[in-house]
Amino acid sequence: VRARPPNVIDLLGGYAATNLIREMLARRVVDSLHEWRTVAEISRLHRIDHDGALVLLNFLYCCSDFLQRRGERFRLAPRYSEHHAWRGVFEKFTGAYGQMIAKPLSAHRSGADAGIDRSALARAYSWDSESPVVIKTIEDLRPDGVLDIGCGRATLLAEICARIPAEGWGIDPSGAMCRAARGSVASAGLQSRIVIRRGSALTINQVLSLQERRRISLIYAGSLMNEFARSDATLVALLDRLSRWFPGCWLIVVDYLGALTGRRKRAGNYTYLNDIVQVLSGQGVPPASHEKWSSIYRAAGAQLSDIIEGRTLDLRWFVHVVRLRGYRHSAKLRSTSTGK
Ligand SMILES: C[S@@+](CC[C@H](N)C(=O)[O-])C[C@H]1O[C@@H](n2cnc3c(N)ncnc32)[C@H](O)[C@@H]1O
């Protein structure tokens, strides 16, 4: 039986709770609530009026699963104190895309990518951990050179290069992400093998020399393709360029199946939230099925050779192992069988 959809009062409650949690994060009240705290303690530690604090904490306790209450004391529910990925999700939707979500119709009209707070996005990704499935998929292909396009904080690249003796290149147009990426590379002690450059997927030929491109046997695009999901033609054009610059290379695409454009049966709020920020930021909702993705690869002469699907809440994310069009001259790449 389908749960009753939230009504307008539920939505207003969620809106107020979201703003409250956001301020509690910014003022570190959330950190204090990792252990049981009386209202008096919270009030004193964070200089909040006692009676107001009581009502606000009670409000969160009553309208969400965020807090637990025992008599006069409150604490964060274990699912929020023991796991941290929710903080990244929260930062993404209230920080990085917060302005757009606050003004959805105007943001949509301008298709304003400029409205993304890139520093908040970099912070949001700091709560992410790399998926073992993705790491294993790349490791199994044993690449000599890995290019991570839209590398973000480059944690995946650092992890791969720490495991196998590959060279790495990370490219990202965001200054905030490049700074964070160089930090990850330095703390892994991999500066001699990984290079981070500021640039776009569309102009890689200006960022990497021909000699460097020839040393790359595998490209990783983690949550990058969805930045080009405005139309099938945009995705095909990107794949086409990649094939020209890196003929015959492996391309590992990690992305998600969109829901709100098609007739796919109901997904869930996490997928819907991702879909709406995709649209508000002018990126477009990614294709809703593997078949559709496969037809896009084919249109660029590339071939989808393996699919691995995972789930985060209701979000269907995937790893696609794709072979780019063309013949790779370097014989050094030792491929493994990936047929399904
Ligand atoms: C959602 S983040 C994913 C970061 C990282 N790949 C990961 O999986 O954690 C998308 C990244 O793509 C970058 N990006 C956006 N447009 C791009 C473009 N045209 N070329 C390359 N990277 C781009 C963003 O700056 C951002 O770091």
Res 338 pLDDT > 50? no
Going from the Cα of 152 to the center of ligand 1, the distance in angstroms, rounded, reads 6
How long is the chain? 340
pLDDT in tens, 126-136: 777 778 999 99
Q: What angle do CA 183, 186, 189 make, to 5 degrees?
A: 155
Can you give the pLDDT at residue 334? 46
Can you give the pLDDT at residue 31? 97
Res 331 pLDDT > 70? no
Can you give the pLDDT at residue 340? 33
Res 102 pLDDT > 50? yes
Going from the Cα of 95 to the center of ligand 1, the distance in angstroms, rounded, reads 17
**Higher-confidence position of 304 and 125:** 304
Going from the Cα of 133 to the center of ligand 1, the distance in angstroms, rounded, reads 20
Give the position of tokens 């454009």.
261
Can you give the pLDDT at residue 327? 83
Closest-CA residue to 220 (of 170, 163, 324, 149): 149
The arithmetic mean of pLDDT across residues 310-328, rounded, is: 93
Can you give the pLDDT at residue 128? 75
Average pLDDT across the chain, whole number: 91
- Return d(Cα 278, Cα 193) in angstroms, integer: 34
Res 115 pLDDT > 90? no
Res 16 pLDDT > 50? yes
Strands (DSSP E) contained in the chain are 37-38, 67-70, 73-76, 145-149, 167-172, 194-198, 218-222, 250-256, 303-312, 315-323
Asked if residue 13 lies in contact with residue 24, where contact means CB atoms within 8 angstroms, the answer is no
Let me know if 14 is exposed, middle or buried by CB neighbors in 10 A (0-12, 13-18, 19+).
middle
- pLDDT category at 335 given cuts 50, 70, 90 is very low
Going from the Cα of 149 to the center of ligand 1, the distance in angstroms, rounded, reads 7
Can you give the pLDDT at residue 112? 52
- As for ligand 1, residues whose beta carbon falls within 6 Å of it are 125, 128, 149-152, 171-174, 177, 200-202, 222-224, 227
The arithmetic mean of pLDDT across residues 69-74, rounded, is: 96
pLDDT in tens, 268-299: 999 999 999 999 988 999 999 999 999 999 99
3-state secondary structure of 320: strand
